[in-house]
A and B are shown apart, each in its own frame.
Chain A
Amino acid sequence: MENTIRRGRVWVLLDKNGKLIEDIDTDQIYHNAFLHITDIAQMGQYALGNLEGWKDFPKKCQPGDIVLTGRNFGAGSSRQQAVDCFIALSVGMIVAPSFGAIYFRNAVNSGFPVLKIRGFEELFDRRQIETGDTVEIDFLRGTARNLSKNASMEVEPMCSVQYDIFRAGNLFEYGKMLAQGLS
């Protein structure tokens, strides 16, 4: 059985007025000026590079950190780089009330954990979550706690395809397992 628990320090994506940012599109996550790059290792430096106030994220972020953000994260284009740039930085997980459809499946296919959270806006308004907190999330069971504030959080567990692909490593490995009848 895989370890399905991730613990990490949280970054809550806020604008300069301290509000949760919604509808962050893939050009704010990974700008089209860098789409010619095909080497994942080169992509981390551009993560959130066009999101006002977050250009220094690649420098501040540590491996295992967890990004929390407003609804419809990853709206816009189909670029895999907008997922790969977080993989390059070894970000542990991205959690949002909802994701752009293509973004979500790009993350699933790369075996990168993205989870949907319920009641995030209220949690944020009640100051039960802020940047720097440490949270622990079991993405198979959908249980989550903010250890710093001793507050519980409600996340949706991974759906079956997401978990199967995650467990295999990525879509390619999952496909090879299916082809060999190992699913």
Chain B
Amino acid sequence: MEKTIIEKIIQSHSPDETAAGKIVWMDLDIRSARDFGGPNVAKNYEREYGDSAPADPAKTFFTFDLCVPACTLKYADNQQACREFAAKHGIKVFDVDMGIGSHVLIEEGLALPNGTVVGTDSHLNILGAVGCFGQGMGDVDIAFAFKTGKTWFEVPESLKVVFKGSFKAPTSAKDLTLYVLKKLGTEQAALRSVEFYGGAAKGLTLAGRITLCSMVTEMAGIIGFIPEFGTSLVGETEPFLKSRYSPLQADPGAVYANTIEIDIDGLPPQVAVPFLPNNVQDVSELKGTKINSGFIGSCTNGRLEDFREAASILKTHKVKPQVMLKVVPATRRVYAQLLEEGIVEDLFRSGAIILNPGCGGCAEGHVGLTGKGEVQISTGNRNFAGKQGKGKTFLAGPAVVAASCAAGEIRSPEDL
């Protein structure tokens, strides 16, 4: 039978015949937990399995990225409990200095094309950006995965999305992503694997692929793949991909639940309006909306290319007085790149606040939270009511966030 990408990846990790709709047992190449969920994983594990060894400690990891370094006593306790559990079982911890777990797994060569990775991060499907099946799961699933190296999974149907046309700067991967959300809502991709095709997908860098794949979660999808790639992918910033990038391709006769063409020709920058990520408008429709703060970072927009976009604006425009711009690189590796390229200095001199690598304000634990009445524009992926605090969060790409922080109101970079 001819297969989609997700069917192929799961098939290569399962003794069962794989087809969309079937529930199969699947072998997991990597299983991980972070400081959210991790302590519960350890607790479940010890309750169910006592001191017995996990299936393979060398394939098992903790990644701390949410409350880093711990700024509350509860998280200090929780992280230490994970470290002690890890030490007992010979499990490696990517500790509070390293940054966002999903990105670290890519950088460390642990999340590989055609691999299977699970962890307690609902955006672990970011790994689709490198052709790997990543999936976020709860602490019961992950404790079971630590112990057995397996999980059950219902093989998802696939949706094919084909981009028509092209866009140019300042429009970037985030704008493309938000526009896809606008078109697909939370229904078209729901519970499906999404394969993105067309020149606009093929030309994406790793950072852009991460942006698009990360928000398949907000489309209610399982994972996104971008099977075609060009030279931009293994370019100068991501040399670690060079030798090993050979993602599986779908068979020509693979069956899709649906195929959707999205015309993105000349797409202008996009903004998601509170309180849904798919509540998306052209930036021009929101021009003049006053903001109090901005955030650049997160697993969706926390890589070098994202900060280059922001710095290209903030090199010549200062953050408006009274506006707070918070900048958080995804990983320590990205932070080093920002230092080398002088981007840290550019952003610092523009008035931005630059923090250590981590998740940022998607959850309480790092920066990017909002107070009642505060209006924030963020490169994050969620703007649900109350998630980051009582304020309102608009979602946009790094260039729009930078331009808006310079203007003190939502603004396209072209309008500065």
Q: Would you list which residues of chain A between 69 and 111 have a CB under 8 Å from chain B?
A: 71-72, 75-81, 83, 98, 100-102, 105-106, 109-110
> Do A172 and B48 form a contact, CB below 8 Å, given A27-B384, A106-B140?
yes
Contact across chains for A72 and B137 when beta carbons are under 8 A apart = no
Contact across chains for A76 and B40 when beta carbons are under 8 A apart = no
Shortest A146–chain B CB gap in Å is 26
Q: List residues of chain A with CB within 8 A of the CB of B387.
A: 25, 27, 32, 50
Contact across chains for A72 and B141 when beta carbons are under 8 A apart = no
Per the bound structure, the CA–CA distance linking A77 and B299 in Å amounts to 13
Mask: chain A, 30-55; 1 = CB below 8 Å from B; 0 = not: 01110110100000000000101000
Per the bound structure, the CA–CA distance linking A5 and B382 in Å amounts to 38
Contact across chains for B222 and A101 when beta carbons are under 8 A apart = yes
> Do A28 and B384 form a contact, CB below 8 Å, given A33-B364, A78-B137?
yes
Q: List residues of chain A with CB within 8 A of the CB of B384.
A: 25, 27-28, 76
Of the candidates A33, A100, A110, which one forms a contact with B220 in the assembled complex, judged by CB atoms under 8 Å apart?
Answer: A100
Shortest B90–chain A CB gap in Å is 22
Contact across chains for B141 and A109 when beta carbons are under 8 A apart = yes
Of the candidates A25, A50, A79, A98, which one forms a contact with B37 in the assembled complex, judged by CB atoms under 8 Å apart?
Answer: A79
Is A17 an interface residue when CB atoms closer than 8 A count as contact?
Answer: no
Per the bound structure, the CA–CA distance linking A23 and B186 in Å amounts to 8
Per the bound structure, the CA–CA distance linking A100 and B123 in Å amounts to 13
Q: List residues of chain A with CB within 8 A of the CB of B48.
A: 172
Is A143 an interface residue when CB atoms closer than 8 A count as contact?
Answer: no
Contact across chains for A28 and B386 when beta carbons are under 8 A apart = yes
Is B148 an interface residue when CB atoms closer than 8 A count as contact?
Answer: yes
Closest to B362 in A: A32
Contact across chains for A102 and B186 when beta carbons are under 8 A apart = no
Contact across chains for A78 and B148 when beta carbons are under 8 A apart = no
Per the bound structure, the CA–CA distance linking A105 and B23 in Å amounts to 12
Contact across chains for A80 and B140 when beta carbons are under 8 A apart = yes
Per the bound structure, the CA–CA distance linking A25 and B385 in Å amounts to 9
Of the candidates B75, B144, B385, which one forms a contact with A36 in the assembled complex, judged by CB atoms under 8 Å apart?
Answer: B75
Per the bound structure, the CA–CA distance linking A38 and B140 in Å amounts to 12
Q: List residues of chain B with CB within 8 A of the CB of A159.
A: 23, 154
Shortest B297–chain A CB gap in Å is 17
Per the bound structure, the CA–CA distance linking A79 and B121 in Å amounts to 8
Mask: chain B, 128-162; 1 = CB below 8 Å from A; 0 = not: 00000001111111011001100010100000000
Q: List residues of chain B with CB within 8 A of the CB of A31.
A: 386
Closest to A82 in B: B138
Contact across chains for B72 and A78 when beta carbons are under 8 A apart = no
> Do A171 and B385 form a contact, CB below 8 Å, given A38-B39, A72-B220, A98-B190?
no
Is B166 an interface residue when CB atoms closer than 8 A count as contact?
Answer: no
Shortest A60–chain B CB gap in Å is 20
Q: Would you list which residues of chain B between 295 and 334 have a CB under 8 Å from chain A?
A: none
Per the bound structure, the CA–CA distance linking A128 and B137 in Å amounts to 35
Closest to B24 in A: A161
Is A160 an interface residue when CB atoms closer than 8 A count as contact?
Answer: yes
Per the bound structure, the CA–CA distance linking A33 and B363 in Å amounts to 8
Per the bound structure, the CA–CA distance linking A38 and B154 in Å amounts to 28
Closest to B38 in A: A38
Q: List residues of chain A with CB within 8 A of the CB of B191.
A: 98, 101
Is A152 an interface residue when CB atoms closer than 8 A count as contact?
Answer: no
Is A175 an interface residue when CB atoms closer than 8 A count as contact?
Answer: yes
Shortest B63–chain A CB gap in Å is 13
Shortest A72–chain B CB gap in Å is 5
Contact across chains for B78 and A105 when beta carbons are under 8 A apart = no
Per the bound structure, the CA–CA distance linking A170 and B140 in Å amounts to 9
Closest to B152 in A: A161
Per the bound structure, the CA–CA distance linking A110 and B144 in Å amounts to 12
Of the candidates A27, A78, A160, A171, which one forms a contact with B136 in the assembled complex, judged by CB atoms under 8 Å apart?
Answer: A78
Closest to B44 in A: A172
Per the bound structure, the CA–CA distance linking A159 and B22 in Å amounts to 11
Is B122 an interface residue when CB atoms closer than 8 A count as contact?
Answer: yes
Of the candidates B121, B140, B144, B363, which one forms a contact with A35 in the assembled complex, judged by CB atoms under 8 Å apart?
Answer: B363
Is B74 an interface residue when CB atoms closer than 8 A count as contact?
Answer: yes
Per the bound structure, the CA–CA distance linking A23 and B74 in Å amounts to 30
Contact across chains for B136 and A36 when beta carbons are under 8 A apart = no
Contact across chains for B386 and A109 when beta carbons are under 8 A apart = no
Of the candidates B122, B154, B187, B385, which one forms a contact with A78 in the assembled complex, judged by CB atoms under 8 Å apart?
Answer: B122
Contact across chains for B363 and A80 when beta carbons are under 8 A apart = no
Q: List residues of chain B with CB within 8 A of the CB of A38.
A: 39-40, 43, 78
Shortest B333–chain A CB gap in Å is 24
Contact across chains for B122 and A72 when beta carbons are under 8 A apart = no
Q: List residues of chain B with CB within 8 A of the CB of A77.
A: 36, 122, 136, 363
Q: Would you list which residues of chain B between 353 and 374 have a CB under 8 Å from chain A?
A: 363-365
- Pick the 7 closest A-B CB pairs, nearest first: A36-B74, A80-B138, A106-B138, A32-B363, A78-B136, A109-B140, A78-B122
A residues with a Cβ closer than 8 A to B are 23, 25, 27-28, 31-33, 35-36, 38, 50, 52, 71-72, 75-81, 83, 98, 100-102, 105-106, 109-110, 159-161, 170-172, 175
B residues with a Cβ closer than 8 A to A are 23, 36-37, 39-40, 43-44, 48, 72, 74-75, 77-78, 120-122, 124, 135-141, 143-144, 147-148, 152, 154, 186-187, 190-191, 217-218, 220, 222, 276, 363-365, 382, 384-387
Q: Can you name 12 A-B residue pairings with CB atoms under 8 Å?
A: A28-B386, A32-B364, A36-B39, A38-B39, A38-B78, A75-B186, A79-B36, A80-B138, A98-B191, A106-B141, A109-B140, A161-B154
